Structure 1
Amino acid sequence: MPSYQMQVLGTIRSPYKQKFAIPRQPGLIAEARAELVLEPGYDDDAIVRGIEAFSHLWLVFVFHETADKGWSPLVRPPRLGGNEKKGVFATRATFRPNPIGLSVVKLEGVVRKQGRLIIQLSGIDLLDGTPILDIKPYLP
């Protein structure tokens, strides 16, 4: 089976320091602000040219706190009651075969702070320190 190596493009700085404080879906707390700090090598102004034309972005991220804990085909999602097992692909569980997630967030702006390129976001549902693998425009 092939495997793929990916690079972390940036890291989320969010108000959520613990996983239990995070909203269960992006956008539930519209005023929740965060920053995506792009890593050197991915922080050239050209990489975000045209991004301001979009109101929202898809973020592909790593479930970094559970990535090394393995996965199971059946899980008990607490938000679905926690008593009934569901197939992992029927849930948003973090314990997945590939520990990646997808979140749609509102784009608030792009700035430079202390030489770093930062994408400002709202409606975030990601833990502080979450590694970002990709950014794509959201097209409703």
Structure 2
Amino acid sequence: MQEQPSNQITFNYIGRVNSPYKEKFAIPRQPGLVSAAKGSISLIDNANNEELLRGIEQFSHLWVLFIFHGTAQQGWKPLVRPPRLGGNKKLGVLATRSTFRPNPVGMSVVKLENIEQQNKQLIINISGLDLLDQTPVIDIKPYIPYSDSISGAQAGFAQQQPFQALSITFSKQAQEETKKYQQVYADLPLFIEQVLAQDPRPAYKKQQEDTKIYGMILYDLNILWQAQSSIEISVLSISKISG
């Protein structure tokens, strides 16, 4: 970190996220909602040092502080429309978890799977992430249940986890393609189901008949799907992205 002469501070990244989410669409809005999402953090430069990780295996979960690099260049506004409220009501940005913030800093709790080293590169394997691929990481801290989980805390419009009794089905074609790609991604069916169970569509689309065919990219796969009704989403096809 470098302190500037004015009211600015410059941080150095300590790592980057390797994530199955290659685009913003379909990333769950909170961590932990898609437990089958597996990724990693590759430490870089001075942070690529085993001593920084000494003792971290004692903790099951970690806080990851990061930069919203996918939206940082778009600036911010004092009022935003939380998707949880259907996109119809504005709240102050500091009363939400919008990515469009005065400083584009986010925090996410993830499950620590293990630590490995590949060609002198330290890699923290994690799961349950809600992070875009190549997200810059500025800090990592252990999750401490007795202080980080507050019984009886009030959470305003987000007091309860959204309940969506969505049924996820696979067409015959998608079933065959899933079997093929499971050789590389063993948890692919569960991963797709958990992502689609969050219904990634814009809020206004969920309130009306929607015949659009959507596409989402997970890993290097393009997954086409369509809402069959308000309670069912069907996976139509899965194909590998060329190049």
TM-score range, shorter-chain basis?
A: over 0.9
Structure 1 match to 2:47: 42
SS where residue 29 of structure 1 aligns? coil
Structure 2 match to 1:11: 16
Match of 2:72 among 67, 71, 95: 67
Deviation at 1:115, TM superposition (A): 1.9
CA distance in 2, matches of 1:114, 1:72: 43
SS where residue 41 of structure 1 aligns? helix
Deviation at 1:40, TM superposition (A): 2.1
Deviation at 1:90, TM superposition (A): 1.3
Structure 2 match to 1:56: 61
CA distance in 1, matches of 2:128, 2:86: 25
Q: Which deviates further from its counterpart, 103-112 or 15-24? A: 15-24
Task: Indicate the RMSD between aligned Cα atoms, in angstroms.
Answer: 1.0
Deviation at 1:81, TM superposition (A): 0.6
- Please, what TM-score do these two structures have when normalized by structure 1? 0.96
CA distance in 2, matches of 1:16, 1:41: 27
Aligned pairs (5 A) from 1:45-124: 45-124=50-129
Aligned length: 140
Deviation at 1:78, TM superposition (A): 2.4
Structure 2 match to 1:23: 28
SS where residue 133 of structure 1 aligns? strand
SS where residue 89 of structure 2 aligns? coil
CA distance in 2, matches of 1:32, 1:66: 22
Where does structure 2 lack aligned partners over 5 or more consecutive residues? Answer: 1-5, 146-243
Deviation at 1:114, TM superposition (A): 2.3
**The structure with more radius of gyration:** 2
Indicate the structure with greater helix content: 2
Runs of 4+ in 1 over 3 A off after TM superposition: none
CA distance in 1, matches of 2:16, 2:90: 32
Where does structure 1 lack aligned partners over 5 or more consecutive residues? Answer: none
Which of structures 1 and 2 has the larger relative contact order (alpha carbons within 8 angstroms, sep 6+)?
1
SS where residue 89 of structure 1 aligns? helix
1:59 is matched by which residue type in structure 2?
Answer: V
Deviation at 1:138, TM superposition (A): 0.4
